[in-house]
Structure 1
């Protein structure tokens, strides 16, 4: 049996700060979406806030699923949809289904849409 060789260049371990930074980068899109759900659902007296919630969430899921899919995985989209249903008193699963559909379409067409101009991508979304 050959003797074990010592590897002079092992992979460096991430520090706690680097791991926290990576976790924050992955959770930031979902955290912003949760804040948007809470602010738009709260009785703050904003005119039309309840009507703005679904389009803002659909646009947010589309944007993050297209440009930063690691920040908006399907599980986070599902949880956001269920949270949106619970806060907005809509039938459970409707928003989750719609947001997952948008996420799936954005993920499926991601590489084709990324080649287009930014305004053209939003035109396709519209």
Structure 2
């Protein structure tokens, strides 16, 4: 009689691969979208789009899957984005770390409250981080600058969050035993 080989190693390797993909998916999403926005598509206000996608992604994944978005990953993402983006040096990295810190600190409460309240908190964070970026830009240029780009950036960050949260929620649920891996 021939023995049947167990498919357990394949299952273990598939689960490990699935786990690795899930762990790096948020970081890869930010970097790929940033490269697309800065190189291929290049829309008007691309700095605002890069900021919005990065902040929304860090906020969502820090709340709902913190293992995929730890502080080291956020720092490395921020460094990559700083080399690509044309915002004042250090502001995007600082903003991502602040958003990550707030989302990490209030993670349990944010994951159990109404979506609208979490969205409101993100909007307030986006306004604050846009204000910091505007202030650093004013200091860097040694003159007052219009505040409208900071408001546009915060509005864009808040406006695309429901779309990205829906996409990320769907991605979180796909696959076999997505939350058990």
User: How would you bin the TM-score normalised by the shorter chain?
Assistant: 0.7 to 0.9
CA drift at 1:16: 1.8
- 2:62 equivalent among 60, 65, 89: 65
CA drift at 1:38: 0.8
CA drift at 1:57: 1.0
Where does 1:3-82 land on structure 2 (aligned, <5 Å)?
A: 15-82=12-79
Distance change in 2, residues 1:44/1:115 (3 Å): closer
CA drift at 1:60: 1.2
Distance (whole Å) between structure 2 residues aligned to residue 93 and residue 124 of structure 1: 23
TM-score (norm 1): 0.80
- 2:95 equivalent among 82, 95, 98: 98
Distance (whole Å) between structure 1 residues aligned to residue 94 and residue 42 of structure 2: 29
Taking CA–CA contacts closer than 8 Å with sequence separation of 6 or more, which of the two structures ends up with the larger relative contact order?
A: 2
Q: Which secondary structure state, in structure 2, belongs to the residue aligned with residue 15 of structure 1?
A: helix
CA contact (8 A) 2:27 2:73 kept: yes
- What stretches of structure 2 of length at least 5 have no aligned partner? 1-7, 124-181
- What stretches of structure 1 of length at least 5 have no aligned partner? 1-11
Deviations 1:59-118 (A, max 9, x none): 111111111111111111001100111011445533222211110110001112222111
Backbone CA RMSD of aligned residues: 2.0
Distance change in 2, residues 1:123/1:89 (3 Å): closer
Structure (1 or 2) with the larger CA radius of gyration: 1
Is the aligned partner of 1:120 residue 2:123? no
CA drift at 1:44: 2.6
